[in-house]
Structure 1
Amino acid sequence: MDVTQLDDTTLMRAIAQKQELALGELYDRYGRLVYTIAYRLVRNPESAEEITLDIFTSIWHKAHTYQPDQAQVNTWLTHMTRNRAIDRLRREAARPHRHSVSWTEVSTEPDNQRESPETAVHLTLQQQKVRAAIATLSEEQQEVLALAYFNGYSHSEIAETLNQPLGTIKGRIRAGMQKLRFLLQDV
């Protein structure tokens, strides 16, 4: 079986059947994504590598728990990675040195060198639409969304970090997400 031709869901089924090549292909597709998310949260290359290894080891043992009707594979990986990195930060009682993320630095695309030119163009157009939508948000909304979704802060931690009332933070996050949902309906 040529695992490079399998879609992500079928690849997960193959991993659940303990096909090592399938796990290798999943790593080829999403290893960079997992590492990048982990690194952006923990700000330490060694810790990010350990988290990446932990995620793919976990997938090997728990691929059968993946439910395609609940999330796409890349979303599932992103969620697992974010949770694992936050757990590590809490254990080490460490926080990233800066409080914001430049939206131009954020990349959620898999490291897949085999994608067709049409797919690459489509992904680029989607990224441009997302960045344009984010640019329409206020600086305050951009800041709280970056802290929540890319730095892994809870609403309370954001309020404390920015010295703002919790209700204000929740309102900014809610308003920012509603605006993004509206602007990105067709993406």
Structure 2
Amino acid sequence: MLSNQTDADVFQALRSGNLVALGILYDRYGSIVYRLALRMLGNTQEAEDLTQEVFLILWRHQNYEPKRGSMNAFLSTLTRSRAIDRHRKMRSQRQLIQKWSSSIFPENQNSLMDKISFQEISHRVREALSQLPNNQRQVLEKAYYEGMSQSEISQDLNIPLGTVKTHKRKGLIQLRQILKDLVESR
């Protein structure tokens, strides 16, 4: 029975395409990964998402090497690394929002009217993004909402770096045109 096997044997079964093996590894280590993710991220939804991401990586990339350490150590290291990446992206998003917010609302940023106006602008930007071709929208969202670099976007979308740069430039030009009245009024 597979559930009585060692982690190395179960992982070998996963490599062979046995998805039951992934369930067994999840049963063994899912709560450990989740608790670590929760402790690092401080948010249950983010911790759940990260736990799912870690096990998807284990399944898709199958880069665990039993000779280098235990499954527990591997998954903990992977969880820690991905949590740090998420912190960086969230910090980048916050900085971008603060930058936009301070340029749009330089004085008295905390008033109710400023907050409402900022929400309206955010809504308009989201609507404008939805009007862009999918490839341009996807690149801009990854750059500005997820805080990814152009090379990270290139890897994530599996497209050449030059294509990412082109999509980003064209998307920004189109976005500026769509939001022309908003840009000119500031």
Q: TM-score, normalised by structure 2?
A: 0.48
Q: Which has the higher contact order (CA 8 A, sep 6+)?
A: 1
Q: Which has the larger radius of gyration?
A: 2
Q: TM-score, normalised by structure 1?
A: 0.48
